[in-house]
Amino acid sequence: MLSQTTTHTSLLARLADGSDRSAWDEFHERYGELIQRFARSRGIQPADCDDVAQNVLLALTRALPTFEYDPAKGSFRAYLKATTLRAVARLQRQKQPGGRLADIEDNLDLAVADTDAEATWEAEWRAYHVRHALRLLESEFRAAELRAFQRYAIEGREARETAAALQMTVNQVYQAKSRIMKRLTELVQQQVQDEG
Amino acid sequence: MSSGCDWFCQEVLLVQAARHSGWTAPVEPAVPGFAGWQELRRGGQGVVYSATQLSTRRRVAVKVLLAGPLASRDQLRRFDREIDLIAGFQHPHIVRLYDRGLTDQGLPYYVMELIDGVGLDGRIGPSAPDLRSGLELFAKVCEAVGYAHQRGVIHRDLKPGNILIDGAGEPHVLDFGLAKSIMTAGQSSSALVSRTGDFMGSLPWSSPEQADGVPEKIDARSDVYSLGVVLYQMLTGRFPYPIGGLGETIENIRNVEPPRPSSIGWHGRPGGWGGRPARQIGAELDAIVLKCLAKEPGRRYANAGELAQDIQRYLAAEPIAAKRDSMAYRMRKRLWRHRRTVIVLLALPVVAGLAALTAVHSFRNAPLPTATEADAPASVYDDAGRCRATELVRLQPSDCAATDSFGFSVAIDGDTAVVGARRDDDLGMSSGSAYVYQFDGANWVQRQKLLAGDGGLLRNFGYSVAIDGDTLVVGMSATVENQAAYVFVYDGTRWVEQAKLTTTDPLPLKGFSQSVAIRGDTIVTAPHFGEAGDERLAYVFERDDGGTPADRHDDSWAETARLTAPGYRDPSNLNHGVALTGELLVVAAPMWQESAGGAFVFRRQPGRPAQWAFETRLVPADQRPGDSFGYAITADANLIAVSAYTDGEVAEQGGAIYVFRHDGWAWVQEAKLLPWDVRGRTWLGFSVAVHGDFVVGGAPGDGQAGELSGAVYVFEHDGQSWQGRAKLTTSAAGPIAAVGVSVAFDGRHALVGADHGRVGLGAAYLYAGLADCDRSDRLDLCEIAAGEAADRNHNGRPDRCEPFAQRLSRNTTGYPDDMLLGAPDDRTGILGAGTVEFDFDPWRIIDGPGPDFNVYELRTGYEAFDLIDVQVSRDGSSFASLKASEAAGDPIPGDGIRGTVPGSRRAYDLAAAMLPAARFVRIVGVRAKTPEGGDFDLDAVGLIHFASPHERASTRQNAKR
């Protein structure tokens, strides 16, 4: 648990330092998928999604040395979101034939306020945390329990059908679901609080 | 839940997010040849299953590692090597390793003996045997570890959980040396937590040097320490010092002297090994345990074998080797420790937490001792005979800032390489540049940095580059007006901007020169952004050489065609690739028809060289929307390769390259080339180059050395079908390197761009040896990488295939450091055509070396030959001719070179006048007479580098070291 609560904060510290390559890699791994998936769902070409992720990373290095990390303000999360939305919007404008640089900059703030993008971001951000937590749980629970959770809790199949398919008892399916759901809630809460 | 509770406390929202997350539960590993999987245990490193090995019908244990810890090629190779070493172990108390490999999901696994037993930790308790049998068992464990120590393998993660006790009560030590591969692996966040947990799981048994995170200090004595902790537990039921939080535990390991086991008695569950402790343990066992647990490795047993012997001596009631520390030593130690404590206490409030974390961090990430870093040639090839290889030369710009995207575009022709850096800021932000490198006979050196004459903000000059002979073209991106392609020509000393190509099109398309190609006197540009409904695919320019092909000064360029194709209308944007051969012009439109894509082939009209006729449209047999067929394109003679980098056949966005061949009648799809060794997104075909029988495909999405580390796949047509031959990576592999974002291949060298996106200093990597000179079905490059072929002059061609074979191995100049740097590759083909072998024997020293001169003998397979010209150079770059006579049969007069022996053998006296000043001698021309009486003129057949006295001295020094 120690590492869980410190990684994010120390990661930010190392990113702010600017010279720690492994911090880049770790940040990229943590948030790259989130940024890229968001970009994808905003209609950006896959090859360019990576550009978006890297633009966000770059913006962060510039900002972090002056970045007051204050979990109470939720500032990291807000900053990440604003930066990502802006990066995607910029690319979208650039890809439009006839787009001029000035227009692009003008439109950026509009884009940040774009409610569609807001909703997409919120969904992707939640999915990111759940995905991250579920991956951690893969080493805590047995594969059969995780499969039961997937079928019964996530895919919404019948408990009996799930039990039959996995050669478990219905009770075991219920147990797996409630145990994993409990840990998932704990982990996601911890992650979200940690992220600030 | 408190106010911190939010959407994640509502099950329905959590489930919604889970659905959207794309997460799926892990599936059983897919390993061919195994069945009947049953999960045994699960941990931060991986999962252990039991399974039936179908070939032997035996039950085995299979450990499948998590992907994160062994992400990079080096880590995997290290892991493989470790496994291979341990697989050779035969010891009754070491768990046998049978096999290793990668699962179908790309995860490393290894197969081992299945032991039906429980961990030693399960036996420290009520069911434990008495003290004597406990010590006998422990001695067996020490013997097993000692066996490994004798073979140079350190366990590094000894703990009760890694010692299995079978039904007969015999111990089996598990997971030998594997901790090293995993502990030192690069970090990844998801793995971080679990692995940190795993590390915590091993921390109580770690030695002080392990807790300090100094891996080079870890040796057999670290294992002795861990065994000491295990023994301590067996005797007392507790750890030698309190085990709590991370930082506290590390401090205790470093500083707390454990109390004597006999002084504390049994603290575990009732009835443990200690049983009736204090009395039974006694001073001798105390001494043995504490010797193991000495903070300084030098005071411990040298290895586990010595520990085993001492336990056995104790059991046989013989005098033991361990002695209690002397009083003086204990006093010194106490003082020293006291000093340490003061320092630690002072520092504690500020940095203690951080320091503890840092220690763990560096422990996990620290490099291996150098002794184990040596290359393992055996793992260069995979089971299919495909190899992995790294570059011959890395090109980096002399002045580049980190985010110039150096390597975003590349081109190569013969001795000239061009690398674009579109985000270079010399003339304003992202004004861009292109670097020219030239091979000077010894090295690739940066010759020039090209900028656009009218460059400026955001022009992204260098977005695309192309070269053919003495002319190169540089394109730019679509971000600004006044789109152009820049033509540079080589005037004999440098590259000068000769023309700026623009179209007379009244409504020019944007991104006019984002793709460029040149061949001979033709340049074609393919715009990236069209207007919806537009039919224009490409612009063609032709050179008018002013009637003097050799003189570039009076050349001019004119736009001669705007290509359209039947059925093609631009969907809104964009064309991506363009390729040009003498007769063919191919334009790719990956966004055409809902991103299904297509490629349009044009052919030069016979007798009307400036006219191009539409020939056909290429689409893949299994075309699907979204594949981006045509993202990159290349052509050579009757071959066209078109890539679809988001193709999903092997993996989502695995990518593919389609090869089309003209069979005399029509273009037919000959193959679909797919990446192997895939871990998900690969993007094979982000860039592509074809030459002869080779296709070279960039895959910047490849994640072998971290996300977007990238790689390049090499395929060869072996006369019947296309075969994957090699996967190229780089010596500096790492995440976001994006190796393969661009590729070029001229038959001799493959040049690969790695622009590092926007986060790192880009590079371009040069590979040679994409050939099979001895027809061994293995690429030269692979044979060199595997150590199967020597390449002393480092030109990417095995020495045995050098036209001037092996002169260095025979030490022909008398100086070991003199290097023959080789001859251009294709002379054999030109000359021989299968009838006359180009067969120079070595230069042979026949007199000297003297202070002033050396006489060399040059022999050829020809009846007779003459040197046409010899050039010398002091620095390997600017060569001066020695004005040799061109009159056949005449010995070359004077100037330091003198031919003496007529016929196929001739000796040359490289005399005093020349050698002291010239350390490079280039044989520029040889006129050979064939048995049939014909003459051949060969240019540039060889180069000798004479090492300077200084270089010789330093080489010898290095050799001594």
Mutating which of A130, A132, A134, A194 best tests the B interface, going by the most B Cβ atoms within 10 A? A130
Nearest alpha-carbon partner for B462 in B442, B481, B484, B482: B484
The reported pTM is: 0.47
Is B8's CB within 8 Å of A32's CB? no
Sorted by sequence, the CB contacts under 8 Å of residue A40 that are 6+ apart come out as A46, A49
Q: What is the pLDDT of residue B808?
A: 27
Minimal C-alpha gap between A27 and chain B (Å): 8
CB < 8 Å to A5, chain B: none
Q: Which residues contact B337 (CB under 8 A, 6 or more apart)?
A: B255, B257
Residue B741 near residue B408, CB atoms below 8 Å: yes
Query: Mean pLDDT score of chain B, rounded to an integer?
Result: 72
pLDDT at A116: 74
CA distance linking residue B323 with residue B311, whole number of Å: 13
- Tell if the CB–CB gap between A185 and B6 is shorter than 8 Å: no
Q: A81 to chain B, minimum CA–CA distance in Å?
A: 17
| DSSP one-letter code for B107 | -
Which of B21, B50, B708 to mutate to test binding with chain A, by most A CBs within 10 Å of its CB?
A: B21
Per CB-CB distance under 8 Å, the chain A contacts of B572 are: 97
Q: Does A47 contact B18 at a Cβ distance shorter than 8 Å? A: no
Nearest-CA distance A41 → chain B (Å): 12
Judged by DSSP in three states, B720 sits in coil
Residues in chain B: 961
| CB-CB neighbors (< 8 A) of A3 in chain B | 192-193, 196-197, 246, 357
pLDDT for res B196:
34
In this predicted model, what pLDDT tens digit does every residue of B867-876 receive, in sequence order?
Answer: 556 666 555 5
Of residues B452, B528, B436, the one with CA closest to residue B486: B452
Residues B530-581 have pLDDT tens digits of 666 677 888 999 999 888 877 888 889 999 998 888 877 765 556 668 999 9
Predicted local distance difference test score (pLDDT) of residue B923: 56
- The pLDDT of residue B689 is above 50: yes
Instruction: Find, among B633, B624, B78, the residue nearest to B378 by Cα.
Output: B78
CB B134 within 8 A of CB B83: no
Question: Is A22 within 8 Å of B66 when comparing Cβ atoms?
Answer: no
Distance from CA of B37 to the nearest CA of A (A): 12
Average pLDDT on B948-959 reads 50
CA gap B825, B803 in Å, rounded:
8
Long-range contacts of B76-81 (CB under 8 A, 24+ apart): B76/B108, B77/B376, B77/B379, B78/B180, B78/B181, B78/B184, B78/B368, B78/B372, B79/B108, B79/B178, B79/B181, B79/B182, B80/B376, B80/B379, B81/B372, B81/B376, B81/B379
Residues on chain B touching A26 (C-beta within 8 angstroms) = 187-189, 192
pLDDT for the residue numbered B952? 47
**Contacts of residue B197 in chain A, CB cutoff 8 Å?**
3, 139
* CA dist., res. B711 & res. B682, Å (int): 8
Domain boundaries, chain B: 13-365, 405-619, 802-959
Q: Which of A2, A26, A130 sits opposite B17 (nearest CB)?
A: A130
The model's confidence at residue B289, banded by pLDDT at 50, 70 and 90, is: very high
Q: What average pLDDT does this structure show over B620-646?
A: 86
**The pLDDT value given to residue A100:** 40
Residues B49 and B38: beta-carbon distance below 8 Å: yes
The answer to whether the Cβ–Cβ distance between A143 and B734 falls below 8 Å is no
pLDDT of residue A4: 35
Chain A: nearest CA to B149, how far in angstroms? Answer: 32
B22 interaction partners in chain A (CB closer than 8 Å): 127, 131
Per-residue pLDDT reduced to its tens digit, B707-736 = 778 999 999 998 889 999 999 988 877 777
In CATH terms, B802-959 corresponds, of 3.40.50, 2.50.20, 3.40.1350, 2.60.40, to 2.60.40
CB contact under 8 A, B25 and A95: no
Q: How far apart are CA A166 and CA A161, in angstroms?
A: 9
A134–chain B nearest CA distance, Å: 7
User: In angstroms, what separates the C-alpha of A136 from chain B's closest C-alpha?
Assistant: 6
pLDDT, tens digit, for every residue of B644-664? 888 888 888 899 999 999 988
- Report the complex ipTM: 0.85
Q: What is residue B922's predicted lDDT score, i.e. its pLDDT?
A: 59
pLDDT, residue A195, reads: 73
**What's the pLDDT band for B810 if we cut at 50, 70, 90?**
very low
DSSP state at residue B948: P
Mutate to test the interface with A, among B736, B741, B742, B756 (most CBs of A within 10 A): B736
The answer to whether residue B846 scores a pLDDT higher than 50 is: no
Best residue in A33, A135, A142 for a mutation probing chain B (most B CBs within 10 Å)? A135
In the block, residue with structure tokens 């003996």? B113
The predicted-structure confidence for B393-423, as pLDDT tens digits, reads as follows 888 887 755 567 889 999 999 889 999 998 8
Task: Find the closest chain A residue to B6 by CA distance.
Answer: A189
pLDDT at B844 (0 to 100) = 36
DSSP per-residue codes, B123-154: TSSTT---HHHHHHHHHHHHHHHHHHHHTT--
- Are B686 and A47 a contacting pair at CB < 8 A? yes
Best mutation target among A44, A120, A154, A195 (most B Cβ atoms within 10 Å) is A154
Report CA torsion sign: B717, B721, B726, B728.
Answer: positive
B chain contacts of residue A29, beta-carbon cutoff 8 Å: 188-190, 707
The predicted-structure confidence for B211-233, as pLDDT tens digits, reads as follows 776 666 788 899 999 999 999 98
Q: How far is A131 from chain B (nearest CA, A)?
A: 5
Strands (E) across B769-904 are located at 819-820, 844-847, 854-859, 864-873, 880-881
In sequence order, the β-bridge partners of residue B102 are B108
Domains and CATH numbers, chain A: 2-137 (1.10.1740.10), 142-196 (1.10.10)
- Could you read off the pLDDT of B29-62 as tens digits, one per residue? 777 788 778 878 766 567 788 888 888 878 898 8
Shortest distance between the Cα of A57 and any Cα of chain B, in A, equals 8
Q: At what angle do helices B277-292 and B220-236 cross, to 10 degrees?
A: 170
Higher pLDDT, B506 or B560: B560
pLDDT of residue A23: 66
User: B405-619 with B802-959: one CATH topology?
Assistant: no
Q: Chain A partners of B11 at a C-beta cutoff of 8 Å?
A: 181
| Residue B667: both structure tokens together | 């273009």
B369 vs B149, residue with greater confidence: B149
Minimum CA–CA partner of A128 in chain B: B21
Residue B900 main-chain phi, psi, to 5 deg: -125, -30
Would you call A20 an interface residue with chain B, using a CB distance cutoff of 8 Å?
Answer: no
Rounded to an integer, what distance in angstroms lies between the CA atom of residue B112 and that of residue B173? Answer: 12
Beta-carbon separation of B193 and A185 below 8 A = no
C-alpha distances (whole Å) from A72 to each of A4, A76, A79, B19 are 18, 10, 14, 29
For residue B107, is the peptide bond before it cis, meaning its omega torsion is within 30 degrees of 0? no
Nearest CB partner across the interface for A192, out of B8, B43, B706: B8
Chain A (111-150) residues lying within 8 Å, Cβ to Cβ, of chain B: 123-124, 126-132, 134-136, 138-144, 146-147, 149-150
Classify B225 as helix, strand or coil. helix
Q: Could you tell me how many CB contacts below 8 A there are between chain A and chain B?
A: 165
Find chain A residues with C-beta within 8 A of B186's C-beta: 22, 25
Q: What is the pLDDT of residue B880?
A: 62
Both structure tokens of A89: 């919007």
Residue A59 at interface with chain B, using a CB cutoff of 8 Å: no
Nearest CA in chain B to A131: B21
Which of B435, B428, B451, B326 is CA-nearest to residue B762? B435
Tell me whether residues B21 and A10 touch, CB distance under 8 A: no
**What are the residues whose beta carbons fall under 8 Å from the beta carbon of A57, sequence distance 6 or more?**
A24, A27, A28, B759
* CA B602/CA B612 separation, integer angstroms: 6
Which one-letter amino acid corresponds to residue A123?
A
Residues of A in contact with B246 (CB under 8 A): 2-3
Whole-angstrom distance, CA of residue B181 vs CA of residue B196: 15
* Superfamily name and number for B405-619: Integrin alpha, N-terminal (2.130.10.130)
Q: Give A157 to chain B, closest Cα distance, Å.
A: 13
Burial B434-464 (b: 16+ CB within 10 A, else e): bbbbbbbbbebebbebbbbeebeebbbbbbb
Q: What is the pLDDT of residues B847-897, one digit of tens each?
A: 333 333 344 444 444 445 555 566 665 555 566 665 433 333 333 333 333
Q: Does A30 touch chain B (CB under 8 A)?
A: yes
**Element at B787 (helix H, strand E):** none
Q: What angle do CA B666, B668, B671 make, to 5 degrees?
A: 160
Q: What is the CATH number of domain B13-365?
A: 1.10.510.10
**Residue segments in chain A with a per-residue pLDDT below the cut of 70:** 1-29, 46-47, 50, 57, 60-75, 93-115, 196
B44 contacts A47? CB cut-off 8 A: no
